[in-house]
Chains A and B, each alone.
Chain A
Amino acid sequence: MQTQRKQIIDYIEHGNIAPENIPAALLAAKITPDGSAWLHFVKQFLLWLGALALGFSCLFFIAYNWAELGRFTKFALIELFMAAVIVLYCKQPNDSLLGKVVLLLASLLVGVLLAFYGQTYQTGADHWLLFFYWALFILPWAIIARFPAIWIFWLALLNLSIVLYYNSFHSLFFIIFSSDQGLLWLLFIFNSLSLIALEYLAIPCKWLAPRWPARLVAVAGGVTITALLLQSILARHSSDFITVIVWLSFITALFFVYRKLKNDLFMLAGTCLSGIIVITTFTAKHLLDDLQEASFLLLAMMVIALGSGAAMWLKKIHRESL
């Protein structure tokens, strides 16, 4: 809808649409939604908000420190609610939005149940296990739901369990990633692998066609590898060389995939931004040691040149894709 919107703005600005015809043209191009579009939107909006509010209401209810309710009553409440939600899901037709939202709600409730179990029996398990098992238990639902939001929720749970795992053990299998940059490396590897999986799965699975899940995961991967390289540049870690090679490989892979195989300007813009940040930090680190005014001017010009160059290149690709 954004591109049609841009197009109609062009028509209006070029005087192709007379002022008195603008409302009718907007309606014809569906920029101004008609009655049925509003109805669809309101139904979706109420469903999403209602389901999420219900899930969080249950979470807060269980989290409240009840003196009057015994643990079995609380377990029964969560499980009954979960069973009701699953029954509701089973009654929905295949691929209905209501069914998918209900499954997302059920996935939230699994976490409530696990958290309450851990709280009640003081299992002594590490925190990361809660999120890991949560992700593990909802995996079958994520597979049958065929819904990007559940997969992003699933990936977020695993990211969280990685963070908590690393905070507990400071390494993985006691061998690799034992440096102070280990957490960023783990997150980078996990999100990069997730990105590859999402892009491969998007080929046969039409429900993964929306670009936002892959973009979100790519941002997570890009931010972590850029942060790793910035740390290396600023603090001179022993892993400098490996970080540079991995960063170069990552942005080259992004460039190749999203320029040659699958046109995605957002990914290319992110690649450029990472490049500008890294080049500027590297140059600033070496030029600003003696605080000369000429160094600041040179850096300013360099950033402008890099930004303008990147924008011109991206705009060229954008025009080519029109």
Chain B
Amino acid sequence: MSRSDTNTLWDKLSDAALVQGTPPDIKATDSPWYIKLLLAFSGWMAALFLLGFIALGFADILENRLATFIAGGVMIASAFVVLRLPGNEFLQHLMLAVSLAGQALMVFALYADTAGDNLFYVWGMIAIMQLLLALIMPDFVHRVWSVFAFAIALAITLQLRHLPAIESAIMLFLASWLVLNEFHYATQIRKFQALSYGLILALITLKSVALLTYHPNNWITGENTNRSYPWLDELLLAGVVLYLVFSLLRRYQKPLFTVFTLATLLTTLLLCALSTQVQGLTVAMAIILLGFSVSNRILLSLGIASLLFYSANYYYQLHATLLDKSQTLLIIAIVFLILRYLIVRFSAHKKETSHGS
């Protein structure tokens, strides 16, 4: 965006008496997502080397679980203190790597020699630790990572209690709430953004591995357990998508008992029903909807990419024959194209009526 574009936006808002004071320095604006991704990637690489340094240089500490846990805690605490200060880029980046290595040490200490029922408590503690870090760490990349790790740990915890069917709905609900309310809390916008990105990335990842009939818990227990109650998963997701659509309708002050609102909610339900066959469709459509509702291109791209992946994966799902799949897709195509036709006709008719009057 050029300086003139910025001025145009400011002037536009100023003309509508929606802004006050002087415009902030545009040079202090946020950096694009790929720079953050580069920082995250090099942070993870540096954390791995730091762990190698600790493993070789402080091998005695790693033999004592309590000492390892405390060392990890101290590293995270120092990262927290330094990240709060307006420091230079190198120090900020170093602290991201130090915190990641500290988290790995704490998880190692919690996890060492743990088995059986204790796994549930260990993963529960990891989830709580990551959630706390996601809430308090004053760094965007750190927040995205921590909330992603929280979501994965929560999914494993739920799986250990045989409740994997509720994980996607919980994540989509939290992400939807954060995106829909990101502008309601003026000082928390970037925090809400980081949390929603982390949750949506985890949701896409978990849904993808679940479609490949694999769950992160399989790494932990070594059992090749298929997902239980996938229909419950889709049912709960449908509930969250209805909440999302209803919230958007309320934003535009559409009353509940009108033809438009009821038709929109019914169509949403129909699409969610189709998603019981083409699994992942609901999640992808919800992410696309969220992205468009707040003009967030990153969410829109994530939604489109996940939609393509879930659709491609449908070919390989073994629960139905190719003929069944062909029929399902044909129904989806007919429903979508008829809906589009009706919308085009309805909007053209409305335009004509308004021109006529």
| A interface residue numbers (CB < 8 A to B) | 1-19, 21-26, 28-33, 35, 38-39, 41-43, 45-47, 49-54, 56-58, 60-61, 63-65, 265-266, 269-270, 272-273, 276, 280, 291-294, 296-297, 299-301, 303-308, 310-312, 314-315, 318-319, 321-322
Contact = CB atoms under 8 A, between A and B. Distances in A.
A56 B27 contact: no
Interface in B1-44: 1-3, 5-6, 9-10, 12-13, 16, 18-21, 23-24, 26-32, 34-35, 37-39, 41-43
A51 B189 CA distance: 37
A297 B53 CA distance: 6
B97 A304 contact: yes
B13 A11 contact: yes
The 9 closest A-B pairs by CB, nearest first: A307-B42, A50-B336, A57-B329, A293-B57, A3-B1, A60-B326, A300-B49, A296-B52, A53-B333
Contacts of A300: 46-47, 49-50, 53, 97
B35 A314 contact: yes
B16 A4 contact: no
B47 to A, nearest CB: 8
A43 B347 CA distance: 11
A223 B59 CA distance: 37
A15 B24 CA distance: 10
B190 interface: yes
Nearest to B327: A57
B293 interface: yes
B311 A56 contact: yes
Contact of A32 (B56, B93, B184, B294): B294
Nearest to B92: A308
B89 to A, nearest CB: 4
Contacts of B251: 32
A17 B13 contact: yes
Contacts of B339: 46
A14 to B, nearest CB: 4
9 contacts: A14-B24, A25-B13, A49-B332, A52-B311, A53-B329, A54-B330, A57-B332, A293-B53, A293-B57
Question: Number of contact residues on B: which range applies?
Answer: 35 or more
Interface of B: 1-3, 5-6, 9-10, 12-13, 16, 18-21, 23-24, 26-32, 34-35, 37-39, 41-43, 45-47, 49-50, 52-53, 56-57, 89-90, 92-94, 97, 183-184, 186-187, 189-190, 251-252, 288, 292-298, 311, 315, 321-323, 325-327, 329-330, 332-334, 336-337, 339-340, 343-344, 347
Contacts of B13: 11, 17, 25, 28-29
Contacts of A31: 294-295
A141 B24 CA distance: 49
Contacts of A53: 329-330, 332-333, 336
A231 to B, nearest CB: 19
Contacts of B56: 291-293, 296
Contacts of B332: 49-50, 53, 57
| Interface of A, helix, strand, loop or mixed by DSSP | helix
A60 B90 contact: no
B35 A311 contact: yes
Contacts, number: 253
A272 B38 contact: yes
Contacts of B90: 304-305, 308
Contacts of B30: 6, 9-10
Interface centre among B24, B187, B334, by most A CB within 10 Å? B24
Given A60-B322, A322-B6, 7 more contacts: A13-B187, A60-B323, A61-B326, A296-B56, A319-B29, A321-B2, A322-B2
Contacts of B45: 276, 280, 303
Interface centre among A10, A24, A273, A280, by most B CB within 10 Å? A10
Nearest to A54: B333
Given A6-B29, A10-B29, A50-B340, A322 B1 contact: yes
A46 B18 contact: no
B95 to A, nearest CB: 10
A266 B45 CA distance: 21
Contacts of A49: 332-333, 336
B295 A5 contact: yes
Contacts of A15: 21, 186
B46 A2 contact: no
A303 B49 contact: yes
A296 B51 CA distance: 8
B337 to A, nearest CB: 4
A16 B20 contact: yes
Contacts of B295: 1-2, 4-5, 30-33
B9 A4 contact: yes
Contacts of A57: 326-327, 329-330, 332-333
A311 B90 CA distance: 10
Nearest to A270: B34
Contact of A315 (B23, B35, B49, B293): B35
B261 to A, nearest CB: 14
Contacts of B97: 300, 303-304
Contacts of B32: 265-266, 269, 318
A28 B12 contact: yes
B348 to A, nearest CB: 11
B38 A19 contact: no
A100 B288 CA distance: 21
B329 A13 contact: no
B18 A7 contact: no
A12 B189 contact: yes
Contacts of B294: 5, 31-32
B21 to A, nearest CB: 5
Nearest to B31: A315
Contacts of A58: 326
A46 B343 CA distance: 10
B57 A22 contact: no
A304 B329 contact: no
A22 B213 CA distance: 44
A296 B50 contact: yes
A13 B288 contact: no
